[in-house]
Structure 1
Amino acid sequence: MNVDILLGKTTEHLVPLPGTKFLIHKLMLQDFLLLQKEAKEEGFDLQVISAFRDYERQLKIWNLKASGQRQLIDDQERPLEFSKLSPLEVMFAILRWSALPGCSRHHWGTDIDVYDGNTQTPEEVKLVPSETIGEGPSARLHDWLDSRMSTNNAFGFYRPYATDRGGVSPERWHISYHPLSRRCLDNFTFSLFKRNLEESDILLKEQLLENADEIFQRYFLNVDLP
Structure 2
Amino acid sequence: MAEIVCNNSRLGHFYFPEASKKKLVEVGGYYNRREYLHREAAGAFKRMREDAGKEGVELVLISGFRGVEVQGELFNRQIQRKGGMAAAARWSAPPGYSEHHTGYALDIGDGKRPEWNLKLDFAKSEAHRWLTEKARGYGFEQSFPANNPQGVGFEPWHWRFVGSEDARRVFAIPRYFTQVVELYSHSGLLPTNSGAGILFSLCEDSMGKVLGGVRFSPR
Normalised by the shorter chain, which TM-score bucket?
Answer: 0.5 to 0.7
Partners of 1:141 and 1:185 lie apart in 2 by 24
Contact kept? 1:8, 1:107, Cα under 8 Å:
yes
Partners of 1:215 and 1:105 lie apart in 2 by 22
Q: Work out whether 1:16 is the aligned partner of 2:26.
A: yes
User: What's 1:156 paired with?
Assistant: 139
Contact kept? 2:63, 2:107, Cα under 8 Å:
yes
Moved over 4 A (4+): none
User: What's 1:26 paired with?
Assistant: 39
Pair 1:215–1:51, CA change in 2 (3 A): farther
Pair 1:119–1:108, CA change in 2 (3 A): same
One-letter amino acid matched to 1:7 = P
Q: Work out whether 1:184 is the aligned partner of 2:170.
A: yes
Pair 1:187–1:148, CA change in 2 (3 A): closer
Q: Work out whether 1:173 is the aligned partner of 2:147.
A: no
User: What's 1:104 paired with?
Assistant: 98
The alpha carbon displacement at 1:163 in A equals 2.7
The alpha carbon displacement at 1:6 in A equals 3.6
Over aligned residue pairs, what C-alpha RMSD do you find?
A: 2.7
Partners of 2:71 and 2:202 lie apart in 1 by 17
The alpha carbon displacement at 1:183 in A equals 1.3
Which residue, out of 128, 136, 154, partners 2:119?
Answer: 128
Contact kept? 2:141, 2:160, Cα under 8 Å:
yes
Higher strand share: 2
Pair 1:10–1:30, CA change in 2 (3 A): closer
Pair 1:50–1:165, CA change in 2 (3 A): same
Partners of 2:118 and 2:93 lie apart in 1 by 14
Q: Work out whether 1:49 is the aligned partner of 2:62.
A: yes
Superposed CA deviations along residues 28-85 of structure 1, whole A, max 9, x for unmatched, are 222111100111011011101111110000111222333x2xx22xxxxxxxxx3xxx
User: What's 1:113 paired with?
Assistant: 107
Partners of 1:172 and 1:15 lie apart in 2 by 24
Contact kept? 1:110, 1:176, Cα under 8 Å:
yes
Q: Work out whether 1:214 is the aligned partner of 2:200.
A: yes
One-letter amino acid matched to 1:36 = R
Contact kept? 1:9, 1:55, Cα under 8 Å:
no
Superposed CA deviations along residues 70-129 of structure 1, whole A, max 9, x for unmatched, are x22xxxxxxxxx3xxxxxxx2210111111111100000101111111222xxx465121
What is the TM-score with the length of structure 2 in the denominator? 0.64
The alpha carbon displacement at 1:172 in A equals 0.8
SS of the residue corresponding to residue 30 of structure 1 reads helix
Q: Work out whether 1:146 is the aligned partner of 2:146.
A: no
SS of the residue corresponding to residue 96 of structure 2 reads coil
Pair 1:144–1:64, CA change in 2 (3 A): closer
Q: Sequence identity, in percent?
A: 28
Partners of 2:78 and 2:110 lie apart in 1 by 28
One-letter amino acid matched to 1:169 = G
Partners of 2:201 and 2:96 lie apart in 1 by 13
One-letter amino acid matched to 2:92 = S
What is the TM-score with the length of structure 1 in the denominator? 0.62
